[in-house]
Structure formats: C-alpha cells, structure tokens
C-alpha cells in the first residue's frame, strides 16, 4: 500500500503497521521540553483535565499565572498530589 493512497489517516495507520513503522512524536515532544527546560503540570475539575507548560523550577504562583494572570496576583495556595498516589488511593480526599 502506498502511504499517499486512499484512506486518509486510516490509510496512513495501515501503511505504518504494514511497514513496521512507529511514530517518534512522543520522543520529539520530550526532547523539545528538555531542550526548552520545560515541564508540565495538570489541573483537574469535574469536567476536564488540562496540561500546562511551565519552566522547570517555576514557583506555584508563577505557574498559576500561566492559566490566568489574575491567578498569579491573587495566589493563595495549591493542593499538590502525586498522580500515582491518586491512582492508588482512588480519591483526592484519601490522598490528603
């Protein structure tokens, strides 16, 4: 099968599977974050989970400012927890 032939994204996926190819996009993203000295943090609510990019070593008020500048100015506190702890204990209350 030709990579450009029919099927759009599905055709490309089939071609990659047949050719034994795999994507290196995750590696490119990780390398880019490392080169730019960035990391990410997540915010979660009832309706969504979002990832935010910040400089490594950024303090919580500055990180909050990535979401909205008013958050940086009026920052009070942050609840921080390990994802692994949350998965293991199954609730935010249990982690606290």
pLDDT digits (tens, 9 = 90+) for 2-55: 445 557 888 888 888 899 888 899 999 999 999 999 999 888 888 999 999 999
Cα separation, 95 vs 85, whole angstroms:
6
Are 54 and 63 a contacting pair, CB within 8 Å?
yes
pLDDT at residue 32, as a whole number: 97
pLDDT reported for residue 1: 45
CA 61 to chain centre: 19
Q: Average pLDDT of 45-66?
A: 92
Alpha-carbon distance of 45 to 58, in angstroms, equals: 22
Higher pLDDT, 60 or 4: 60
End-to-end CA distance of the chain: 54
Predicted pLDDT at 79: 83
The predicted model scores a pTM of 0.60
């Amino acid at each position: 099968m030709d990579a450009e032939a029919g099927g759009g994204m599905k055709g490309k996926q089939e071609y990659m599977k047949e050719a034994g190819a795999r994507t290196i996009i995750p590696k490119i993203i990780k390398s880019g974050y490392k080169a730019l000295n960035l990391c990410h943090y997540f915010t979660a609510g009832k309706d969504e989970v979002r990832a935010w990019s910040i400089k490594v070593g950024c303090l919580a008020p500055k990180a909050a400012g990535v979401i909205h500048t008013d958050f940086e100015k009026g920052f009070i506190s942050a609840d921080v927890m390990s994802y692994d702890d949350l998965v293991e204990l199954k609730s935010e209350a249990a982690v606290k």
